[in-house]
């Protein structure tokens, strides 16, 4: 049940598109669309859930949908690397958080485009056409996200969470459940992001050390080295076309 709800939340925004479109035709159309989407979640007597309960379920899942989507995509690695870069440059609020989040979202869309296209072809389009049910569409969409995450997850992290859950060995990567894959994927993404951030810090750290040594030799101990080193770090970052290198490296790291 947990795995089914996880897959449902991961694709809820796409699968509820026909429901939102049908809302323009009245409550009966909304109820029919929700009945098709949640036909498998019926009551004990086999009757479909009432409209109010279905809407309550949708709104409840929408509250956790952003967190699930962000944790199941490339967003985590990108936003962490950009935050470390801003710290390495010595900038406090430039670029602002809104800009970093926007860059991370659009770069995530670029990286996730092949996966999202497969989700649309195998799940959303057939479901919208009425050729498959919600259960099959959710399963197909979940399989696409599962494939993306398993390729980016370290084997050690999977084994660690599998041992904690006492799940044993898995015959194939496709057999790894979402309950184990999700924390392992997030752990791997954080580790990769900090590795990239460490490499970003090194050249700027060298500049800080050089500037600090020069100021000490000149007897200018009262002047903050950050004030002097900041223009040089910005100059270095611009001369090497740092933004293009960083974006290209982040995108290719998911290859």
Is the residue at 159 inside a domain? yes
72-99 confidence digits (pLDDT tens) = 888 999 999 999 999 888 887 888 889 9
Residue 41 lies in a domain: no
Question: With contact defined as beta carbons under 8 Å apart, do 74 and 109 qualify?
Answer: no
The residue with greater pLDDT, 63 or 79, is 79
Following CA atoms 180, 183, 188, 191 in sequence, which dihedral angle do they give, to the nearest 10 degrees?
-150
> What's the pLDDT at 20?
38
Q: Is residue 171 part of a domain?
A: yes
Query: pLDDT digits over 133-161, tens only?
Result: 778 888 888 888 888 888 889 989 888 99
Per the structure, the count of domains in the chain is 1
Question: Is 51 inside any structural domain?
Answer: no
Angstrom distance (rounded) from CA 8 to CA 134: 9
Kindly state whether residue 56 falls inside one of the protein's structural domains. no
Judged against a pLDDT cut of 70, whether residue 36 lies above it is answered with: no
Is 120 a domain residue? yes
**Summary mean pLDDT of the chain:** 77
Helix (H, G, I), strand (E, B) or coil at 132: coil
Domain range for 160 is: 72-252
Q: Which residue has the higher pLDDT, 12 or 249?
A: 249
Task: Assess if residue 207 is contained within a domain.
Answer: yes
Q: For residues 149-176, give the mean pLDDT.
A: 86
Sign of CA dihedral 145, 146, 147, 151: positive
- pTM listed for this prediction: 0.74
pLDDT at residue 35 tops 70: no
Q: Is residue 11 a part of any domain in this protein?
A: no
Task: Select the more confidently predicted residue: 60 or 238.
Answer: 238
Which residues does 144 contact at the CB level (< 8 Å), separation at least 6?
Answer: 115, 118, 119, 122, 123
Supply φ then ψ for residue 171, to 5 degrees: -65, -35
DSSP 202-232: HHHHHHHHHHHHHHHHTT-TTS-HHHHHHHH
């Amino acid at each position: 049940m947990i795995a089914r709800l996880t897959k449902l939340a991961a694709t809820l925004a796409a699968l509820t598109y026909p429901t939102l479109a049908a809302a323009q035709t009245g409550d009966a159309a909304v109820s029919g669309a929700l009945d098709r989407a949640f036909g498998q979640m019926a009551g004990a007597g086999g009757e479909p859930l009432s409209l109010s309960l279905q809407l309550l379920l949708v709104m409840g899942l929408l509250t956790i949908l952003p967190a699930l989507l962000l944790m199941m995509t490339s967003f985590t690695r990108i936003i962490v690397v950009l935050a470390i870069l801003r710290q390495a440059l010595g900038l406090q609020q430039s670029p602002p958080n809104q800009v970093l989040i926007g860059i991370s979202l659009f770069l995530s869309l670029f990286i996730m485009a092949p996966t999202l296209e497969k989700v649309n072809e195998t799940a959303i389009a057939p479901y919208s056409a009425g050729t498959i049910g919600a259960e099959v569409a959710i399963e197909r969409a979940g399989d696409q996200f599962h494939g993306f995450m398993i390729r980016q997850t370290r084997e050690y992290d999977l084994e660690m969470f599998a041992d904690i859950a006492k799940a044993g060995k898995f015959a194939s990567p496709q057999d790894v459940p979402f309950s184990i894959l999700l924390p392992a994927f997030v752990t791997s993404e954080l580790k990769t992001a900090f590795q990239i951030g460490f490499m970003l810090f090194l050249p700027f750290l060298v500049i800080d050390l050089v500037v600090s040594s020069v100021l000490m030799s000149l007897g200018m101990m009262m002047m903050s080295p950050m004030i002097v080193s900041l223009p040089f770090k910005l100059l270095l970052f611009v001369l090497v076309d740092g933004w293009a290198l960083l974006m290209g490296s982040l995108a290719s790291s998911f290859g």
